[in-house]
Amino acid sequence: MKITSIEAIPYAIPYSKPLRFASGEVSVAEHVLVRVRTDSGLTGTAEAPPRPFTYGETQASIIAVINTIFAPQILGLSALDREVIHARLGRTIANPTAKAAIDMALWDIIGQSLGVSVTQLLGGFADRMRVSHMLGFTAVDQLVAEAERVQGTYGITTFKVKVGRQPYRLDVAACRALREALGDDVELYIDGNRGWTATESARALREMEDLDLTFAEELCPADDVLGRKWLASQSRIPLYADESTARPAEITREILGGAAHGISVKTARTGFTYSQRIVYQCEGLGVEVVMGNQIDSQIGSLCSVAFGAAFASTARRAGELSNFLDMSDDLLTEPLRIEQGTLRVRENAGLGLEIDEGKLQHYRQDL
Ligand code: MUC
Ligand code: MG
């Protein structure tokens, strides 16, 4: 299973509705499809979503780092040489989604070669996950209408609400309206994408104490080291770290530093290899996790559910798996379907990702 080529294909598919949040906005999915080919005839597929406001990567930088640095370093190695491959990728700092896409494509190849799904290979805990839906910034009446539509159409009962605006009371009012409209049985949590200071976060959390929020993610920047620790020491709502913990060492820093209580795991940035290490690290520390979303397409969402369903700790809570619903189209031959609030893994060998070549021809940007 020697790696013979790595393709990095840019494509662009517009969102039918942009997602807005404190650190940015996404209106077109300008992603990079990654295909790793081997001399055994097996091809692994995954993708990298550029998020410059989170990791500094762009579509052009992902393609450049794969073509000029990563591919030359790993061509000729076996898809099974994972530690060697990661040691070589690790010589280059950052570039998390480019590395993660290569990693997930390798697991796809290994699963195919063994005739088992990646979920079975990783742990095989469940065949589906409950889905959590992400609600971006919009007027309160539209926010409530979207949550009700998503609940009615897909049976989703867990919502992550984007917060982090100025003044923070805008977000408090939005969360209050959602709780009043959706009732007590719906699960709500918030994500600030570093939009508030620690003191704004503390005031906002105090004003939302009666809303039964499950947790609050990345409210203020991790570089506000003492502020974040101060916030975590007094918050009655557990604080989760997302973009501040893209590497195992950052998890150690945030958790042992007393600045976070839980971790968002995203396969788009840590692939399967490092996401697995992170899940074990969190289990060892007694720290809860949630499967997060990098505003993934159906390809990324399938990777995420394949991983999240594999472990008891990741499958326990609803995973963020529905951002693709806001895309105007996608690249899979067989679209993902969320039914009764859940998304199933594909039982095919590997990831079960079959790309519609006609759609890829249509949306790819390099021809
Ligand atoms: C999230 O959980 O933060 C928004 C920015 C990003 O990097 O990911 C999304 C969702
Ligand atoms: Mg987040």
Residues in the chain with pLDDT values less than 70: none
310, exposed or middle or buried, with CB in 10 Å at 0-12, 13-18, 19+? buried
Nearest CA to 243 out of 272, 229, 214, 263 is that of: 263
Probe ligand 1: pick from 161, 218, 294, max atoms within 8 Å of CB? 294
**Nearest ligand to the CA atom of 53:** 1
Residues with Cβ within 8 Å of 257's Cβ and at least 6 positions away in sequence, in order, are 225, 229
CATH 3.20.20.120 fits 120-344, yes or no: yes
Instruction: State which ligand 1 atom lies nearest to the alpha carbon of 24.
Output: 5
Across the chain, mean pLDDT equals 98
For strand 288-291 and strand 262-265, is the pairing parallel, antiparallel, or unpaired?
parallel
Using the mean position of ligand 1's atoms as its centre, give its distance from the Cα of residue 293 in Å.
7
Two tokens at 258? 């007393």
What whole-number distance in Å separates Cα of residue 143 and Cα of residue 95? 33
Kindly list the protein residues whose Cβ atom lies closer than 6 A to any atom of ligand 1: 21, 23, 51, 54, 191, 193, 242-243, 292-295
Q: Is the dihedral of CA 308, 26, 241, 173 positive or negative?
A: negative
Probe ligand 1: pick from 19, 132, 243, max atoms within 8 Å of CB? 243
The helix/strand/coil state of 13 is: strand
Two tokens at 268? 């788009």
**By alpha-carbon position, which residue is closest to atom 9 of ligand 1?**
294
The helix/strand/coil state of 46 is: strand
**By alpha-carbon position, which residue is closest to atom 8 of ligand 1?**
294
Q: Is the pTM of this model over 0.85?
A: yes
Predicted confidence (pLDDT) per residue in 36-85, tens digit = 999 999 999 999 999 999 999 999 999 999 999 999 999 999 999 999 99
What whole-number distance in Å separates Cα of residue 116 and Cα of residue 113? 8
Instruction: State which ligand 1 atom lies nearest to the alpha carbon of 23.
Output: 5
Probe ligand 1: pick from 57, 242, 244, max atoms within 8 Å of CB? 242
CB 335, CB 37: distance < 8 Å? no
Two tokens at 219? 């409210």
pLDDT score, position 73: 98
**By alpha-carbon position, which residue is closest to atom 3 of ligand 1?**
193
What whole-number distance in Å separates Cα of residue 133 and Cα of residue 10? 26
Using the mean position of ligand 1's atoms as its centre, give its distance from the Cα of residue 21 in Å.
8
Using the mean position of ligand 2's atoms as its centre, give its distance from the Cα of residue 354 in Å.
28
Active site residues: 162, 191, 217, 242, 266, 294
CATH superfamily, domain 3-115, is Enolase-like, N-terminal domain (3.30.390.10)
Using the mean position of ligand 1's atoms as its centre, give its distance from the Cα of residue 242 in Å.
8
Instruction: State which ligand 1 atom lies nearest to the alpha carbon of 266.
Output: 2
pLDDT score, position 330: 98
Helices in 247-293 by DSSP H: which ranges?
248-256, 267-270, 273-285
**Distance between the two ends of the chain, CA-based, in angstroms?**
29
Using the mean position of ligand 2's atoms as its centre, give its distance from the Cα of residue 19 in Å.
13
> How is the chain split into domains, by residue range?
3-115, 120-344
pLDDT score, position 240: 98
Instruction: State which ligand 1 atom lies nearest to the alpha carbon of 54.
Output: 7
Instruction: State which ligand 1 atom lies nearest to the alpha carbon of 320.
Output: 2
Using the mean position of ligand 1's atoms as its centre, give its distance from the Cα of residue 51 in Å.
8
